[in-house]
Amino acid sequence: MPNYHLSQLDQLEAEAIFILRETAAQFENPALLFSGGKDSLVALDLASRVFTRVQPYFRYEVQGLAEHERVFSAIEARYKCEVIRVPSPELASKIRYGAFLPRETNFRRDLKHVDIENYVRKKTGLDWVVSGIRMEESLQRRGMVNDAKRWRDNGTGLPEILGIDRLGHRLWPICKWGPQHVKQYLAARRLPLPVQTGMNRNRATDLSLNAENLKHLKATNPNDYRKMVERFPLAEVLVKRREMFDEDLAEQSAQAVGVEPSTVQPTDHRPSEP
């Protein structure tokens, strides 16, 4: 007798496809916020199964990093698309407040995520945006997804569906997924795991300006590290301070165990795999 029982992943995948198809009649193709990580890759693959064309876009802090471009080249080849590169709100904030810069700037605009979203809409002519947001990642995301479901239909009769923001024209097809479901889907669809480029194992293209990421980048990709420091010169201070801290820690550890400092390896501060 055939087994018609659906696994949890099958059910979540069916719900994700339903979320995308529920709105497919209202527009031809969507844009998609692509971070380069596992979640956005799953969202891109799901959307590509429903729509004839999906337009991914990436928000950068430093443009043209080889680590990023390597990921995008693989995506562009697989899905026959071009990843649009746009500046991130975090970049605008750093410029506005002079973070990691030797002097103040005259840039005073407070750029928000919705500003980037609307720019992409205007540039592409695509009104709806898909992203790989998962509710369990933060209370803020859970609240955003739940609040977006509660909308006034104004007599249209369209149902409230978790994962659809009808007013904001946003879709979150994997909002109910856990990290284990993301990995299972990648394996089932034979999608390659995103290349780890930063210190954060949960975000494949995380090259944000913190000491651990910069130190890792300096050791693994000196060219990209130089681009980061050229854009934000004072970021190098973070790396120097981190290196000095690791040297002091290694020396203290060596003294505690009675060995030469050079034989003690610095601690790996990366978060463990969930």
Cα–Cα distance for residue pair 98/11, rounded to 1 Å: 47
Q: How would you list the strands of the sheet with 164-165, edge to edge?
A: 84-87, 55-60, 31-33, 129-130, 170-171, 164-165
% of the chain surpassing 70 pLDDT:
81
Residue 273 pLDDT level (bands cut at 50, 70, 90): very low
Q: Is residue 247 part of a domain?
A: no
In a domain, 259, yes or no: no
DSSP at 105:
-
Residue 105's domain spans which residues? 8-231
d(CA 88, CA 195): 21
Q: Is 262 within a domain?
A: no
Q: What angle do CA 15, 21, 27 make, to 5 degrees?
A: 145
The whole model's pTM is what? Answer: 0.81
Q: What is the DSSP string of 18-47?
A: HHHHHHHTT-S--EEE--SSHHHHHHHHHH
pLDDT confidence of residue 48: 96
* CB-based contact 183:38 (threshold 8 Å): yes
pLDDT band at 234 (very low <50, low <70, confident <90, very high): confident
- Eight-class DSSP state of 227: H
Tell me whether residue 268 is in a domain. Answer: no
- The CATH number linked to 111 is 3.40.50.620
Token match 């407070």: residue?
110
In a domain, 2, yes or no: no
How many CA within 13 A on the CB side of residue 43?
30
Cβ 64 vs Cβ 37: under 8 Å: no
252 within some domain: no
- Residue 119 inside a domain? The answer is yes
In 10 A of CB 26, how many CB atoms? 11
Is the pLDDT at 134 greater than 70? The verdict is: yes
Inside any domain, residue 179: yes
Tell me the backbone φ, ψ of residue 171, rounded to 5 degrees. Answer: -125, 135
Q: Give the pLDDT confidence score for residue 27 in this predicted structure.
A: 86
Instruction: Provide the domain count of the chain.
Output: 1
